[in-house]
Amino acid sequence: MTAGELSLIAGALLSLIFSYVPGLNSAFAGLATEIKRLIMLGLLVLVAGAVYGLACLGYAESFGILVVCDQAGALALVQALVLAIIANQSVYSITPQTGAVQEARKDVFFEALSE
């Protein structure tokens, strides 16, 4: 699996987790948009760092991850991170909202109006 494929999968998977896991989805929906974006960015950077760490430790190939521990590998991982961010935000924006998420978003909306 290339870094690009892995990042697309990780980005989409994180988005689906935060959209559908009960409790987590409504808590996440209740956060400000900027905070949600920063959380996703942080998690994606963490995943990219873990993949690069596995490559540097020599374990990435054991998991079928085709990333090398050198400058070219780091650059490929940064490019893959950009793809992951795009996939993450795209999937989150088109994912249907559960009832709990819709309710949490209403609460945030009405709190913003009252300020």
SS3 of 8-64: the string is HHHHHHHHHHHHHCCCHHHHHHCCCHHHHHHHHHHHHHHHHHHHHHHHHHCCHHHHC
pLDDT tens track for 45-90: 988 888 889 889 998 888 888 888 899 888 988 888 888 888 777 7
Report pTM.
0.72
- Tell which residue, 38, 15, 25, has the closest CA to residue 84: 15
In the block, tokens 């999937």 appear at: 91
Query: According to the model, what pLDDT value does residue 26 have?
Result: 83
Check pLDDT > 80 for residue 20: yes
